[in-house]
Amino acid sequence: MDYKQAGVDIEAGNEVVRRIREMARGTFTPGVLSEIGSFGGLFRLDAAGVADPVLVASADGVGTKLRVAFRAGIHRTIGIDLVNHCVNDILVQGAQPLFFLDYLATGRLEPDVAVQVVEGLSAACRENGCALLGGETAEMPGFYADGEYDVAGFIVGAVSRNRLIDGRNIRAGDALVGLPSSGLHTNGYSLARRIVFDIARLEVDSRIPELGVPIGSALLQPHRSYLSLIRPLLSSAVGIIKGMAHITGGGITDNLPRILPEGTAAVIDRAAWRVPAIFQWLQRTGNVPDTDMLRTFNMGIGLIIACENDAADRIVADLARVGEPNAVRIGEIVSGDQGVRYVGL
């Protein structure tokens, strides 16, 4: 009996490292001091160009969206999802990403699948100006079913202390601006999969006329990064953005209150934007109550900005200039217990 017979193929792991090394190098920024394969990744903080820096870190995964990828045999988008989700999580505090690390665990390592995931990771890191500094690929026989894996991401960014965005200055009377999502992003897939594959009994290549694409394509639409849209606002409108919320698991209902100071609440006008067709179809097909939809999915709003009321129109116009014409004022801050109230239903 040897290690390979026990289920761990060291040569397959080495092959993955060889194939992904150049992809990772293509993401390196001037701050990177190490090579892929080092025991630890090295990064010069002064290369970030941030005065009086505060480090902002986050870790996340993509949840059961992975099961849709397994069904479809498409894995590159998973890497994009993972990076963009993490980038948004630190962006809402004003941070620019510095470096990213990944962890991929599987029962039996399939080099082609692992390379697809890292292709997505490296593409998204390049797009966000973030170095793919390193990671870990773990082969764990008997722990995962054949053809399955899990993946997690870890990101570190930096922001100047005087430009940190934490929501503490949000006040009653402030406005809320919503930016469109690109679909489900990386949340709500346990419910979505139940509706699609169990209730509707569809396959990933089944077509739904109102969506215009196979249901698998709609579900695998990559999580959007908002960095390229928000970064110009952070540099040109210091202090105008008081807080930002990344709308992930829990929807607007649970994520927006995370940035609200004590004594403030949010009122969201549901009539301010058109809910995308994928959410309408899921709700109708699964007969899902409004409250559950709003607490499970982003419902078409992936990021919310809190700002002074008289700055909202300027922010919407600035977003249109940098490529997002569909940002819209979706509500306001009021006095009250922390929470979200919906109107316009």
Show Cβ contacts of residue 209 under 8 Å, excluding neighbours closer than 6 positions.
none
d(CA 305, CA 345): 22
Pick the residue with more confidence: 264 or 17? 264
* Chain mean position to CA 68: 17
Residue 173, C-beta contacts closer than 8 angstroms, at least 6 positions apart: 309, 332, 333
The strand order across the sheet containing 301-307 reads: 241-246, 301-307, 175-180, 328-335, 264-269, 340-343
**Whole-Å CA distances, 332 to 16, 242, 342:** 49, 13, 11
Tens of pLDDT, residue by residue over 298-328, are 999 999 999 999 999 999 999 999 999 999 9
Instruction: Please work out, in degrees rounded to the nearest 5, the angle formed at the alpha carbon of residue 329 by the alpha carbons of 82 and 282.
Output: 50
Where do the domains of the chain lie?
10-163, 175-343
For 338, the token pair is 């922390």
Give me the pLDDT at residue 169, please: 94
Tens digit of pLDDT for each residue in 248-296? 999 999 999 999 999 999 999 999 999 999 999 999 999 999 999 999 9
Say which residue the tokens 């922001």 belong to. Answer: 159
Q: Considering the domain 10-163, what is its CATH architecture?
A: 2-Layer Sandwich (3.30)
User: What is the distance between the alpha carbons of residues 194 and 286, in angstroms, rounded to a whole number?
Assistant: 8
pLDDT by residue (tens digit) across 132-186?
A: 999 999 999 989 998 999 999 999 999 999 999 999 999 999 999 999 999 999 9
Q: Where are the beta strands (DSSP E) in 222-300?
A: 241-246, 264-269
pLDDT per residue as tens digits for the range 178-219:
999 999 999 999 999 999 999 999 999 999 999 999 999 999
CATH superfamily of 175-343: PurM-like C-terminal domain (3.90.650.10)
What's the predicted TM-score (pTM) here? 0.95
